[in-house]
Amino acid sequence: MNTTPHYPPGTVRALLDTEHVSDATREALQRRLAAGTEPYQTQFFEPEAYALLEAVCARLLHQPNAPANVIDVARCVDERLALGHADGWRYDALPPDREAYRLALGGLRQTAQAQYGRDFLQLTPAEQDAVLQAVQAGTASGAIWQELNGPLFFEELLAETISLYYSHPLAQEEIGYVGMADLPAWTRIGLNDREEREPQATTQPTQ
Amino acid sequence: MPDEELLEEGVLNPIKPEIQDPLLQELLGEQQAATPQEQPQPVPEQFDEVDCVVIGTGAGGAPLLARLAMAGLKVVALEAGPRHDARRDFATDEKAQEFLFWNDERLSAGRTPTSFGNNNSGTGVGGSTLHYTAYTPRAQPDDLLLRTEFGIGQDWPLSYADLEPYYDELEQLLGISGPAAYPWGPPRRQSYPLGPLPLNGAAQLMQRACQQLGIRTSPAANAALSARYYQEGIGWREACTNRGFCQAGCSVGAKASMDVTFIPLAEAYGAEVRAEAFVTEIERDAQGRVTGVVYEQHGQQMQQRCRALFLCAGAIETPRLLLLNELALSSGHVGRNFMAHPGMQVWGTFEEEVRPYKGIPGALISEDTHRPANANFAGGYLLQSIGVMPVTFANQVARGRGLWGAALHDYMRQYNHVAGINILGECLPHDENYLELATEKDSRGLPKPRVHFSYHDNELRLSEHAERTMRQIWETAGARDIWAFQRSAHVIGTCRMGRSGDDAVVDADGRAFDVPNLYICDNSVFPSALSVNPALTIMALSLRTADRFLEKQRRLDA
Ligand SMILES: Cc1cc2nc3c(=O)[nH]c(=O)nc-3n(C[C@H](O)[C@H](O)[C@H](O)COP(=O)(O)OP(=O)(O)OC[C@H]3O[C@@H](n4cnc5c(N)ncnc54)[C@H](O)[C@@H]3O)c2cc1C
Ligand code: SF4
């Protein structure tokens, strides 16, 4: 039977206080842990569009322990778009990021209306998933999706949000990653070789 | 520790990004200043003329910079990115290290668009070697003779014998770790200076399965030190600590990136490296010879005059600069022949714990598929085991598998049990695959590059063959949930070298056919992609380009 490893919570925070983590690494991770604890004023999206983006992120990223553990991905997207940062490339078939995000959020509203006659935010989680699946599959209804390539945009959205999520030390802890604690040298690096400071998994059956 | 947000913003986009979105342009209205181009240009600051200016300090620029300085020439390198103190500033954190990548937006077009940024393009003193995985196999002699062997693709205007002495020299200087006897390629005159790095979990799994399947493997040649190493002019460098972070920068100095090897060597011999210096213009006289360059540094325009120019800005920015400056274009091949290695990855989940963040990511190699028997394609590919950092992996899971919600979380929880193999395979040049200047502008007000890239029959067949091989290896190793991620890596061929200016931009010495004192050396000059990782060969060409240039100077002086 397949099992899903689970790792003990608190591992990364505990490691950050040790000499296993370099100063530069500690500073970067602590800043990220602290970010998002204070209320956020959107910089790029209108509040309504932002609420929609948050709802989408909640479906893409399953955070079972929310809200206590919520990693605020929507906020990072908003900040990036406000600053105009890029990651070095974009599909030529998509418009510039800001335009693509605005169009896509409008597109989600259209699809929700066309499929269920309600606003995206009023849909059940399962209905929201159906709308997102249609966009990913390229079958979403709505005029905007004639203009904007749904599957390509969805890939970009997914890649950005997932990368942001797994950049967070708590998400890294969830998957048993402790590469940030790289001092001194790793010496046990082969198969089934665990170093003292690496957490051991408890396995639970896959749901 | 540099402020990551500041670096991300300040270093690469010193000018407020130009808004592309028409709607947003309208909304922001008067807030948007005129584009930088429309502003009156201040008179550039000037320096005294130097012998050589080198644009870019990556694999192509840094070795020749050192060579020219060591010959006593007055040389200045202009590097768009910043200079780092890796030991102090580099974090073991992918997001904090994003400043290493060329993050200005490029447009990826075609049926199999290739991605840039962290997939292949770096910036900073050291260029993309700051984040290369440090695999350093040599090309094999037949790699340079593709047309002779298969009747398609391109031969190189030089042979393995021309490169061999430089491979020998580089392996010693960089301190390459590798096996005592490397199973592929011609017999070596010298063995690797250091023994191989230890194999991590992914490498052990691949080794085990290949042995059962009769595929030969070997510890890879890595430009990372398996023991402390000393080089005259460079000093001591420390051994690799197995932190698995090569693709986001080495904080140990073990990896032979240019910032800890050729750059200090060049500076020890008087070369000057100006960081955060983005070249925009190449100036010429009435005869068409280069007289100098104009660059932006800290918001100011500067000018540097030179007797010879070495353009080493990488296979996107080099042709982009030439197109922007309408220079060396007579062959019609600047920006054409764009190639990227088919670089498919195959992932599997194992019972064993792999913990893929430990150990040099590229530990094991096989070149048994260099010329596979009964292949229905030209050329071949190599196989490499891969370690992977979590954000890079998550990104590939998003793009390759399209998983989200609970399915994604369940899969990502397997991270410590996941291992990958990838290939690098031959890519043929094709008319459809080229770089052009788009009308859309970047933060500097310059046209963005648009790169068209579509696989054709050869790349598709090669990838199919490779996918079968890699799936078989992972099945034999006991993996479940095997999946393939189709991707391409490295940017190659946009200013290729050749025998004639009719179908090539530079000659075998790297000199532009159109401009006698313009040299190009980076991944853009490769006439064919080679079925190996490019960096060692780029460095070999770099040393050779410098030597050929110096020889010509000596003949002129005599
Ligand atoms: C994640 C990753 C892993 C890799 N792994 C390997 C590997 O294992 N083995 C291998 O052989 N190769 C590997 N590579 C590829 C290797 O890094 C590149 O092929 C090589 O560095 C390219 O050298 P280059 O000189 O062409 O360009 P670069 O090294 O990219 O150097 C170009 C430099 O020019 C500068 N520049 C550009 N435009 C301007 C301008 N206008 N003014 C001033 N400066 C400018 C840039 O900032 C940059 O520093 C990898 C690359 C990546 C991204
Ligand atoms: S694995 Fe070795 S070479 Fe690579 S970043 Fe870590 S210490 Fe440096």
Q: pLDDT for A32-44, tens place per residue? A: 998 877 789 999 9
Mutate to test the pocket of ligand 1, among B65, B128, B525 (most ligand atoms within 8 A of CB): B128
**Summary mean pLDDT of chain B:** 93
Across the range A150-156, mean pLDDT stands at 98
CA of B59 to the centre of ligand 1 (A): 6
Cβ <8 Å between A23 and B1: yes
At B187 the pLDDT is 95
What is the pLDDT at residue A203? 72
**pLDDT greater than 90 at residue A199:** yes
Q: In 3-state terms, what secondary structure has residue A125?
A: helix
Res B5: pLDDT: 35
Rounded to a whole number, what is the distance in Å from the CA of B79 to chain A's nearest CA?
18
Q: Which residues contact A28 (CB under 8 A, 6 or more apart)?
A: B1, B4, B91, B93, B95, B96
Question: Can you tell me the distance from the alpha carbon of B239 to that of A51, in angstroms, rounded to the nearest whole number?
Answer: 50
Percent of chain B surpassing pLDDT 90: 90
Ligand nearest to the CA of B239: 2
Q: What share of chain A is helix, strand, coil (3-state, %, to 5)?
A: 50, 5, 45
**For residue A87, is pLDDT > 50?**
yes
Contact (CB<8Å) B412/A6: no
- Res. A167 pLDDT band, cuts 50 70 90: very high
pLDDT at B20: 53
User: Residue written as tokens 């400071």?
Assistant: A197
Q: Given a cut of 50, is residue A175 above it in pLDDT?
A: yes
Q: Return the DSSP state at B428.
A: -
For B109-155, the DSSP string reads ESSSPPP-GGGT-B-STTGGGGG---B-PPPPGGGGBHHHHHSSS-B
Sign of CA dihedral A41, A45, A51, A54: negative
pLDDT category at A70 given cuts 50, 70, 90 is: confident
pLDDT in tens, B80-98: 999 999 999 999 999 999 9
* Predicted TM-score (pTM) of this structure: 0.94
Site to substitute for ligand 2 among B84, B237, B241, most atoms within 8 A of C-beta:
B241
Residue closest via CA to ligand 1's atom 25 equals B60
Instruction: Output the pLDDT for position B14.
Output: 31
| Residues lining ligand 1, Cβ inside 6 A | B 55-61, 78-81, 120-124, 127-129, 131-136, 247, 278-279, 312-315, 317, 321, 362, 490, 522-523, 533-536, 538
- Count CA within 13 A, CB hemisphere, residue B50: 24
pLDDT for residue B556:
87
Q: What are phi and psi of A14, to 5 degrees?
A: -65, -40
Residues of B in contact with A23 (CB under 8 A): 1
Tell me which amino acid residue B146 is: L
Contact B316, B437 (CB under 8 A): no
pLDDT < 50: residue spans in chain B: 1-17, 22-24, 27-38
Residue A37: per-residue pLDDT: 73
CA-closest residue to ligand 2 atom 3: B255
Which of these, B80, B4, B57, B77, lies nearest to B442 by C-alpha position?
B80
Chain A residues touching B402 at Cβ < 8 A: 136, 154-155, 158
A51, burial (CB in 10 Å: exposed 0-12, middle 13-18, buried 19+) = middle
How far, in Å, from the CA of B309 to the mean position of ligand 2?
Answer: 34
Distance between CA atoms of residues B472 and B417, nearest Å: 18
Chain B positions touching A135 (Cβ under 8 A) are none
CB pairs < 8 Å spanning A and B: 231
How far does Cα B409 stand from its chain's mean position? 33
The number of beta carbons lying within 10 Å of the beta carbon of residue B365 is 28
